[in-house]
């Protein structure tokens, strides 16, 4: 089944011109025609405020304002027009601490460089087809950081999240967990 991405508007934020070219080529290959690019996160935030975008793809490490600061701006700034926009973090930093920092900043999906078209397609399809609910607390605003895996719902031990029912007590329907 073919997917029509022709109306999807994407903003790429990366200070590396070569990476911008690679991502633009991949996105054009998917049929995405409306692509905004920025090498500066501050300018990218101005683009978010002035143009409607459906998905943001941002690098992690950039000068002055990094990708995490940019994500926090989009999620929590008073003048952010779309704090719910899906944000895909793209980075060469794949250690767990960086992934956790990105998640805690409000990133929707995380991709490691070098990126493949297959992985980027999967991340874009995920943010479109499987949007996650957003959570607002005093310390966090962004997509729900918990992933509901049917296999996880089978766990019945002491570490199970409070309020979660096991599959056995729900008559076997893991989707209700």
Two tokens, residue 144: 């729900």
What's the rounded Cα separation, in Å, for the pair 150 and 72? 31
Reported as a single tens digit per residue, the pLDDT across 68-106 is: 999 999 999 999 999 999 999 999 988 999 999 999 999
Q: What value does the CA radius of gyration of the chain take, rounded to a whole number of Å?
A: 18
Give the pTM: 0.81
Beta-carbon neighbour count of residue 26 at 10 Å? 19
Which residues make beta-bridge pairs with 59?
Answer: 90
CATH code for residues 9-143: 3.40.50.2300
Distances (CA, A) of 96 to 21, 56, 112: 28, 22, 12
Indicate the burial class of 159 (C-beta count within 10 angstroms; 0-12, 13-18, 19 or more).
exposed
* Residue spans of the chain under pLDDT 70: 1-2, 147-177
Helix or strand holding residue 109 (H, E): strand 109-112
CATH 3.40.50.2300 in the chain is located at 9-143
């Amino acid at each position: 089944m073919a997917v029509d991405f022709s109306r999807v508007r994407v903003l790429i934020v990366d200070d590396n011109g070569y990476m911008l070219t690679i991502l633009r080529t991949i996105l054009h290959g998917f049929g995405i025609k409306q692509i905004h690019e920025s090498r500066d996160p501050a300018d990218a935030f101005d683009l978010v405020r002035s143009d409607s975008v459906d998905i943001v793809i941002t690098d992690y490490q950039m000068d002055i304002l990094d990708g995490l600061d940019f994500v926090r701006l989009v999620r929590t700034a008073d003048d952010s027009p779309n704090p719910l926009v899906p944000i895909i973090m793209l980075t060469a930093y794949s250690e767990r601490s960086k992934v956790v920092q990105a998640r805690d900043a409000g990133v929707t999906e995380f991709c490691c460089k070098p990126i493949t078209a297959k992985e980027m397609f999967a991340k874009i399809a995920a943010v479109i087809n499987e949007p996650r609910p957003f959570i607002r607390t005093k310390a966090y605003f962004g997509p729900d950081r918990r992933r509901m895996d049917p296999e996880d719902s089978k766990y019945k031990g002491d570490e199970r999240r409070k309020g979660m029912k096991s599959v056995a007590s729900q008559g076997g329907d893991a989707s209700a967990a």
